[in-house]
């Protein structure tokens, strides 16, 4: 019994000793692990310290080298930044900006009205306008047209017409063409009314053999118009009287294209020097017909080759001399258009030939739309729309202004004519009206 008890006691003692031994081994292992981690931390810190010290030394060495380079006489100077180039606009470009800015803020109704040149009676409703008062002010407020054309019946005296024009300008929202037909000879509204200088007709001047006579006539007419207050003259005539009994008669400088070209160019220069805008007429040339578009249809059988060799050279001379406006005639020229329609409605004549072939970038205006060659066959709205679609910029004297105006306005609203197309014409119109500002912008 005692032996069994002793054996049990021995086993308990052995287990106790093994437990103590295992605990000691565990403690030693933990201590060794702690020592290893600590040693690693110390080593890592030392390594980072050394690397940072080395990096700082390298950085300092680089900075020292840079400071030495900048301090040396051969140091490279830092280039100054290149300034952005300043684009200086030309006076013409500045004028374009003014024109575009003005057109952008115009309501569509004003834009469309600005394509028309009409008589004062057409917008005021009076039978004969000889003054500009409340009726003119109200009319221009409702229809800010692009221009007004005056005839002998509107002119009673120099003071009266000057006052009328001055007052009209006071009422306008937008710049106006104040126009008249003053060719000299039998077509001279001011001279007929006794307030302008009588000037020889074109035929007489052409027969003189001296283009300076055309220049002096332009100076004289231009001086009268400028003094009274006009700014646009529907002259000179560039048609050739090249058939017997030509409808253009004494209004033409003759039948010889080379000679007529010199007279037309001289007349344009004379008007221009007096500050008057000139308008060549009647493209492509109505002198090759004996029929009068005032009273009905008129046509010519002249070929395209004949037009190019003769009539076009005269118009080109006027354009080269500085004419800012060209009037399209209502004559039918099948050899140019391919049809019997008046040239006013022909894109082939207005755009393909005058605008593109002859390179004319000014204002293209119709002849008076109340002439029988148009009014007997087209209503005022259709005529105006067709002329604009052919490439004309302005409509002169429609038979019924309100019908023409409303027709064009509706055509734009319906997309038949784009507003940008209207804007293109207005840009050309306002470049003429604001041309005197170029010198101010220089």
d(CA 277, CA 180): 11
DSSP state for residue 237 in the 8-state scheme: B
Joined tokens for residue 24: 């000691």
Joined tokens for residue 228: 């009274």
The one catalytic residue in 224, 233, 324, 367 is: 367
Q: Which candidate, 223, 224, 255, places its Cα nearest to that of 239?
A: 255
Cis peptide bond upstream of 383, omega within 30 = no
- Main-chain dihedrals φ then ψ at residue 408, nearest 5 degrees: -65, -45
Q: Which candidate, 278, 302, 279, 276, places its Cα nearest to that of 290?
A: 302
Residues 6+ away with beta carbon under 8 Å from 399: 369, 370, 374, 375, 380
294 an active-site residue?
yes
Task: Answer whether 400's CB lies under 8 Å from 116's CB.
Answer: no
Joined tokens for residue 397: 């004297």
Joined tokens for residue 403: 């019908």
d(CA 184, CA 202): 7
Joined tokens for residue 357: 């072939």
DSSP state for residue 116 in the 8-state scheme: E
Residues in the chain: 442
d(CA 340, CA 303): 14
What is the three-class DSSP state of 419? helix
DSSP lists the bridge partners of residue 281 as 237
d(CA 215, CA 223): 12
Q: Which candidate, 233, 238, 221, 216, places its Cα nearest to that of 283?
A: 238
Joined tokens for residue 224: 């009268």
d(CA 387, CA 398): 11
d(CA 164, CA 186): 24
The one catalytic residue in 294, 320, 352, 379 is: 294
d(CA 194, CA 245): 30
- CA terminus-to-terminus distance, the chain: 137
- Give the active site residues: 294, 367
């Amino acid at each position: 019994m005692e032996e069994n008890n002793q054996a049990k006691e021995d086993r308990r003692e052995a287990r106790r000793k093994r437990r103590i031994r295992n605990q000691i081994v565990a403690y030693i292992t933990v201590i060794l692990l702690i020592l290893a981690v600590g040693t690693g931390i110390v080593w890592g810190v030392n390594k980072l310290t050394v690397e940072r010290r080395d990096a700082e030394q390298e950085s300092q060495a680089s900075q020292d080298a840079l400071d030495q380079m900048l301090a040396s006489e051969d140091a490279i100077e830092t280039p100054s930044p290149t300034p952005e180039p300043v684009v200086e606009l030309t006076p013409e470009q500045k004028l374009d900006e003014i024109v575009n800015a003005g057109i952008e803020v115009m309501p569509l109704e004003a834009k469309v009205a600005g394509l028309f040149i009409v008589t004062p009676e057409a917008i005021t409703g009076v039978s004969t306008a000889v003054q500009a008062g409340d009726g003119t002010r109200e009319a221009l407020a409702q229809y800010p047209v692009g221009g007004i054309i005056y005839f002998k019946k509107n002119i009673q005296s120099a003071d009266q017409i000057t006052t009328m024009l001055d007052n009209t300008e006071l009422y306008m929202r937008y710049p106006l063409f104040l126009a008249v037909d003053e060719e000299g000879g039998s077509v001279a509204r001011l001279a007929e009314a006794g307030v302008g200088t009588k000037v020889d007709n074109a035929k007489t001047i052409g027969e003189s053999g001296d283009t300076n006579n055309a220049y002096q006539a332009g100076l004289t007419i231009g001086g009268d118009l400028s003094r009274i207050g006009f700014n646009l003259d529907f002259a000179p005539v560039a048609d050739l009287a090249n058939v017997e009994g030509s409808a253009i008669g004494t209004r033409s400088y003759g039948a010889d294209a080379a000679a007529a070209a010199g007279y037309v160019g001289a007349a344009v220069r004379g008007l221009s020097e007096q500050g008057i805008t000139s308008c060549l007429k009647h493209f492509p040339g109505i002198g090759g017909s004996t029929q009068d578009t005032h009273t009905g249809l008129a046509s010519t059988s002249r070929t395209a080759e004949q037009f190019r060799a003769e009539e076009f050279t005269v118009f080109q001379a006027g354009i080269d001399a500085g004419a800012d406006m060209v009037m399209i005639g209502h004559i039918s020229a099948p050899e140019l258009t391919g049809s019997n329609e008046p040239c006013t409605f022909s894109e082939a004549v207005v755009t393909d030939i005058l605008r593109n072939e002859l390179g004319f970038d000014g204002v293209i205006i119709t002849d008076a739309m109340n002439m029988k060659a148009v009014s007997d066959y087209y209503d005022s709205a259709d005529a105006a729309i067709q002329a604009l679609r052919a490439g004309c910029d302005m409509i002169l004297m429609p038979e019924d202004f309100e019908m023409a105006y409303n027709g064009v306005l509706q055509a734009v609203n319906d997309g038949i004519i784009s507003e940008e197309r209207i804007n293109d014409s207005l840009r050309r119109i306002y470049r003429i009206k604001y041309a005197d500002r170029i010198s101010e912008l220089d």
